A and B are shown apart, each in its own frame.
Chain A
Amino acid sequence: MEKTVTGTAHGHGHTHEHTHEELGFWRKYVFSLDHKVIGVQYAITGLLFLLFGFCLMMLMRFQLAYPGHPIPVIGNWFGADKAPGGIMLPEFYNQLGAMHGTIMVFMGVVPLAVGGFGNFVTPLQIGAPDMAFPKLNMMSYWVYFLGGVTMLASFFVPAGAAQSGWTSYPPLSDIATMGQTMWLFGMVFLITSSLLGSINFIVTIVQLRAKGLSYMRLPFFVWAQLVTSFLLLLAFPPLEAAGVLQLMDRLAGTSFFLPSGLMVSQKPLTVAGGGNPLLWQHLFWFLAHPEVYVLILPAMGIVSEIIANNTRKPLWGYRALIYAIIFLGFMSFIVWAHHMFMTGMGTTISAFFQVTTMIISIPSVVILTALLLSLWGASIRFTTPMLFALAFLPMFGIGGLTGLPLGLAPSDIHLHDTYYVIGHFHYVVAPGTIFALFAGLYYWFPKATGRKMNELLGKIHFWGSFICINCVFMPMFIQGLGGMNRRMYDGGMQYAHNAGLLKWNLMIGFAAWGLGLFQIPFIINFFASIKWGALVDRNPWEATTLEWSAPSPPGHGNFLTEPIVYRGAYEYSVPGAAKDFTPQFEPEHA
């Protein structure tokens, strides 16, 4: 093993001295055009935002666990306009809620899943030297960064950040304080970044596939990125339009979302009126439902790679997976109004969206079933990435199945706007997507750094997070079924039906803080492994896809020789083969 490592390192150094010119620090690490560096930039920024968004949530859980108590230790940091005497004000609670959602979705998960993994892994898996438009790629990252800075800055403007929820429903958001304007500008940046990125991904996947890499030989991860990019490309512009309209309402005095005769604080609002608040909801959810699939599809892609690798078997139903994901992408455009059953759209429209919602659960079940069946009869390697990938399956399953009662209009009337909804979508996104992202980080870390992450710390991270995160979200189903409303500053103490449900907030609070503590082994592992992790050669996981034929870490231009693909993506345990994996890049033996 040692011998191969040194051999690889030397070969790598020699070949690259000829091909790439030496760049200064700024061009190499900051304004880089290399998809791998941009991918790492996205991933690290996304991880930092995930941590920040999680900190906001830990503050909110303190308020819910101990309503009206001063926040210990850090309570005095927030100033008198947010938390006088360390006691959180309701306005501050609303800011934390709105920004938690926005940060986690648009600045954490999507940049990490699409910007990070998409950028780093996709060109390597298709055998391309880089993305199709490297300058556009760099620009996407910096526009995203600008959007992130705008969002963070909004905490410091008068009256603080946006507080109308991550959905920003008007008319409330139209008349909200300045933080909302910052939110809208931030969103325009984030949307633009995703649009540019999605064009780049589609062109890269269509145009830069290596010789022999037909569509039906693509790793499932690449398929997931391709479908995700189409969702971003076509669903984000309507939200951009909605953002522009809300900016016009706030800055140019228009009434797109303000109906006639609106009263604010017992006074009629002096606007022309004639607008329609539901218009925002339609435009918003036309994006935000496909956005749900933008969050989950890359996660499914990552999990598929890791499951195939660690079961040492081909994925069960590779073609079915691909057809399912294409169908899923298509259907995600015609389910958006299931978020709006309570708005009085009428029963006919509700019935339509209820039917499409039930239909879209079919491809999701196909994907989950195929991944589950892939485990059948396998001799599984229980590595850290595999543990996270395995946990994804039941967690996403719980999240998906609890979504069905929300997709049916009659049961949604009871469950709407309760903690049940929060439990549902967090099971999909937190122990679902974020676990898959952790799996991906542990899995591709050796490719990015040339070193493996520590298995023991990884397993502590996994088991601690797995137990804590279930203790956070499982009680929310109980609270929600009991009728406890979300978005309440004190959890809804004034309502009698909440009396027996509020006690769960204490447990959820401690589980959330415990979850925070269990991220420390990950943070230590991440940084320590960059320096001291075990050195690896090109293919430490004995995987079959193309990225493992490049050096670890790959130099500028990725591959030392032009990669050629000879077979499908998951040829594990081929009968009669010498070893239990036959890589895509290995020529046929005569």
Chain B
Amino acid sequence: MEIPYTVEQRPDTGLANGKLGIWLFLASEVMLFGALFSTYILLRVGAIEWPHGELSVKLGAINTVILICSSVTMVVAWAKLKLNDFAKGRLYVIVTVVLAAVFLVNKYFEYAEHFAKGEGPWHSTFFAIYFTLTGLHGLHIVGGIVVMLYLAGPGAGLWKRNPEQYTNRVEYTGLYWHFVDLVWIFLFPVLYLL
């Protein structure tokens, strides 16, 4: 038994199943982070004073650049696969994974510094929302890394059997990855700058 439209598009909707699925998933993610950003606003509006300059803008800015670059490499990976260049496509997926890992290492140094100063999530509502938002975002990065490692490693065999489906998977992962990037682009000014 075959499920229709797993690879090819349904003519009247113009979509393959996976693409609609990933967009719906991202819609729910918008609601998840939307709720947390609302929490941030409510806590900040209700606070007597809100701390400024607690976070390292330098590390945050570096991480922003790293994530934007990783979004670019992800698009290039998909473009290479579209041009039937599997070796380059896989290489760019791996580059994306490396950039994501560098982001996490940076984040680790930031976290370690705050914990060393006793500024854990229990310290104040600012650090509570900081750790919750960046922690959840970090988990999304880890999720992305797992999927990309699968695509570059054990999942790469699909290219031989069904290159179009493999390319689609990279595209959907890319959509997710851009969303994770976008969340950070909101997180950076909200937590580090404002």
Seen from chain A, the residues whose Cβ lies within 8 Å of a Cβ on chain B are 19-20, 128-130, 132-134, 195, 198-200, 202-203, 206-208, 233-238, 240-242, 244-245, 248, 252-256, 271-272, 274-276, 279, 283, 286, 556-557
Contacts of A242 in B (CB 8 A): 35
- Bound Cα distance A233, B27 (Å): 8
Is the pair A256, B35 in contact by a Cβ cutoff of 8 Å? no
- Known A238-B35, A241-B35: A255·B13 in contact at CB below 8 Å: no
CB<8 Å pairs between A and B, sample of 12: A132-B17, A200-B21, A207-B15, A235-B31, A237-B34, A238-B35, A241-B32, A245-B132, A272-B128, A274-B124, A279-B39, A279-B42
- Bound Cα distance A248, B33 (Å): 16
- Bound Cα distance A132, B5 (Å): 9
Tell me how far the C-beta of B22 lies from the nearest C-beta in chain A, rounded to whole angstroms: 9
Is the pair B3, A134 in contact by a Cβ cutoff of 8 Å? yes
| B contact patch SS | helix
Contacts of B10 in A (CB 8 A): 207
Tell me how far the C-beta of A209 lies from the nearest C-beta in chain B, rounded to whole angstroms: 9
- Bound Cα distance A272, B4 (Å): 55
Contacts of A20 in B (CB 8 A): 1
Which residue of chain B has its CB nearest to the CB of A229? B24
Q: Mark B145-178, 1 if CB is under 8 A from A, else 0.
A: 0000000000000000000000000000000000
**Segment of B55-63, B99-107, B115-123 in the binding face:** B115-123
Is the pair A274, B43 in contact by a Cβ cutoff of 8 Å? yes
- The 8 Å CB contact of B125, one of A128, A134, A255, A557, is A255
- Known A241-B39, A256-B125: A129·B2 in contact at CB below 8 Å: yes
Contacts of A240 in B (CB 8 A): 32
Q: Mark B33-55, 1 if CB is under 8 A from A, else 0.
A: 11110010011001100000000
- Known A132-B21, A203-B24, A272-B124: A556·B1 in contact at CB below 8 Å: yes
- Bound Cα distance A274, B3 (Å): 52
| A contact patch SS | helix
Is the pair A233, B122 in contact by a Cβ cutoff of 8 Å? no
Number of residues from B at the complex interface, CB < 8 A: 39
6 shortest A-B CB distances, which residue pairs? A253-B122, A254-B128, A241-B35, A237-B32, A238-B35, A237-B31
Which residue of chain B has its CB nearest to the CB of A239? B35
Which residue of chain A has its CB nearest to the CB of B132? A248
Is the pair B132, A244 in contact by a Cβ cutoff of 8 Å? yes
Tell me how far the C-beta of B33 lies from the nearest C-beta in chain A, rounded to whole angstroms: 8
- Known A130-B1, A202-B20, A203-B17: A236·B124 in contact at CB below 8 Å: no
Tell me how far the C-beta of A382 lies from the nearest C-beta in chain B, rounded to whole angstroms: 39
- Bound Cα distance A172, B125 (Å): 19
Is the pair A283, B35 in contact by a Cβ cutoff of 8 Å? yes
Is the pair A275, B17 in contact by a Cβ cutoff of 8 Å? no
Contacts of A128 in B (CB 8 A): 4
Is the pair B1, A236 in contact by a Cβ cutoff of 8 Å? no
Tell me how far the C-beta of A556 lies from the nearest C-beta in chain B, rounded to whole angstroms: 6
Seen from chain B, the residues whose Cβ lies within 8 Å of a Cβ on chain A are 1-6, 10, 13, 15, 17, 20-21, 24-25, 27-29, 31-36, 39, 42-43, 46-47, 120-125, 128-129, 131-132, 136
Is the pair B24, A208 in contact by a Cβ cutoff of 8 Å? no
Contacts of B128 in A (CB 8 A): 248, 252, 254-256, 272, 275
Contacts of B29 in A (CB 8 A): 237
- Bound Cα distance A145, B29 (Å): 23
Sample of 17 more A-B contacts, CB < 8 Å, known A199-B24, A242-B35, A256-B129: A20-B1, A129-B4, A132-B21, A195-B28, A200-B21, A202-B24, A203-B20, A207-B17, A207-B20, A233-B24, A236-B28, A237-B28, A248-B121, A253-B122, A254-B121, A254-B128, A276-B42
Is the pair B122, A252 in contact by a Cβ cutoff of 8 Å? yes
Contacts of B6 in A (CB 8 A): 132
Is the pair B27, A234 in contact by a Cβ cutoff of 8 Å? yes
- The 8 Å CB contact of B123, one of A19, A200, A235, A272, is A272
- Bound Cα distance A275, B34 (Å): 18
Is the pair A207, B5 in contact by a Cβ cutoff of 8 Å? yes
Is the pair A254, B28 in contact by a Cβ cutoff of 8 Å? no
Which residue of chain B has its CB nearest to the CB of A201? B24
Tell me how far the C-beta of A81 lies from the nearest C-beta in chain B, rounded to whole angstroms: 31
Is the pair A133, B17 in contact by a Cβ cutoff of 8 Å? yes
- Bound Cα distance A245, B40 (Å): 11
- Bound Cα distance A200, B36 (Å): 25
- Bound Cα distance A19, B2 (Å): 10
- Bound Cα distance A152, B4 (Å): 39
Is the pair A245, B122 in contact by a Cβ cutoff of 8 Å? no
- Bound Cα distance A276, B32 (Å): 19
Is the pair A238, B13 in contact by a Cβ cutoff of 8 Å? no
Tell me how far the C-beta of A361 lies from the nearest C-beta in chain B, rounded to whole angstroms: 25
Which residue of chain A has its CB nearest to the CB of B125? A274
- Bound Cα distance A483, B132 (Å): 42
- Known A133-B17, A254-B122: A238·B27 in contact at CB below 8 Å: no
- Bound Cα distance A256, B123 (Å): 12
